[in-house]
């Protein structure tokens, strides 16, 4: 598939997406919520392919939060079934298209067969050098930050870490995203205006794009428009624009 005419130099290095709106998409069509999740998986495929085609370096998708376990068991079971289907059906394409897939989140609660699929997908794509595709699965930013703090506290108690050496940069090395640049752009579909416990530490200076489009309706064209609009933003990271101090 030919690459889009988007200039790679204009793209953010890392785009993270909160994929929201599956249930409302289904309700608008008088369909069960499960139908919305099925449509949402199709949108995942479309957006991953678009990210590959435009040459994006890093894409992170919020697939299942640590709070999503509170949903009705039938819905959770359906979501787990969709994850199984994705790993069975899509990893071959990721391998062929030079995508490296990784999963961040708490793996202790995953079913054994899903854990095997995750590890297999990561192993099969580990040497790929194209898009870094990260799924946040059973992920919660507060849980991630607490785990990092707990591990450092234990290391300090054992005399293996001097607390005075803990800087923001050092702390970031203990997060699950330590191999990734912080997201430049966080996109949330579905009309809500919040981060919902997603990449809270990493998003300190991220640009935010809140879209009314429900996730199953989020098209390749809208994705490309959203990431290219990022190039029009001025990122100062707490500084001021040169003309403001002239």
Q: Name the residues annotated as catalytic.
A: 20, 68
- CA atoms of 121 and 123, how far apart (whole Å): 5
Burial 129-141 (b: 16+ CB within 10 A, else e): ebbbbbbbbbbbb
Contacts (Cβ under 8 Å, ≥6 apart) of 168: none
From 44, 38, 45, 74, select the one nearest 62 (Cα to Cα): 44
Q: Which residues, 6 or more positions from 218, have their beta carbon under 8 angstroms from its beta carbon?
A: 19, 43, 47, 189, 211
Q: How far apart are CA 234 and CA 246, in angstroms?
A: 17
| Per-residue CA distances from 68 to 79, 80, 92, 99, 190 (Å) | 10, 11, 28, 27, 17
**Residue 68 burial by CB count (10 A; 0-12/13-18/19+): exposed, middle or buried?**
middle
Helix, strand, coil percentages (3-state) for the chain, rounded to 5, are 50, 15, 35
Contact 122, 102 (CB under 8 A): yes
Identify the DSSP state of 56: -
């Amino acid at each position: 598939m030919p690459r889009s005419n988007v200039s790679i130099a204009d793209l953010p290095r890392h785009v993270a997406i909160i994929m929201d709106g599956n249930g409302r998409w289904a309700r608008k069509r008088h369909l069960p919520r499960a139908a919305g999740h099925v449509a949402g998986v199709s949108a995942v495929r479309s957006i991953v392919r678009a990210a590959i085609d435009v040459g994006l370096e890093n894409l992170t998708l919020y697939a299942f939060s640590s709070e999503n376990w509170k949903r009705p068991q039938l819905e959770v079971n359906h979501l787990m079934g969709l994850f199984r289907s994705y790993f069975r059906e899509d990893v071959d394409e990721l391998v062929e298209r030079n995508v490296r897939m990784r999963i961040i989140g708490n793996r202790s609660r995953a079913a054994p067969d899903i854990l095997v699929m995750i590890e297999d997908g990561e192993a099969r794509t580990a040497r790929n050098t194209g898009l870094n595709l990260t799924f946040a699965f059973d992920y919660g930013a507060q849980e991630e930050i607490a785990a990092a703090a707990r591990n450092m506290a234990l290391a300090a108690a054992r005399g293996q870490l001097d607390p005075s050496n803990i800087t923001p940069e050092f702390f970031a090395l203990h997060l699950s995203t330590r191999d990734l640049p912080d997201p430049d752009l966080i996109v949330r579909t579905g009309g809500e205006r919040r981060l919902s416990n997603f990449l809270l530490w990493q998003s300190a200076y991220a640009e935010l794009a809140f879209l009314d489009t429900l996730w199953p309706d989020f098209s390749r064209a809208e994705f490309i428009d959203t990431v290219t609009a990022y190039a029009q933003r001025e990122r100062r990271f707490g500084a001021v624009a040169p003309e403001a101090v002239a």
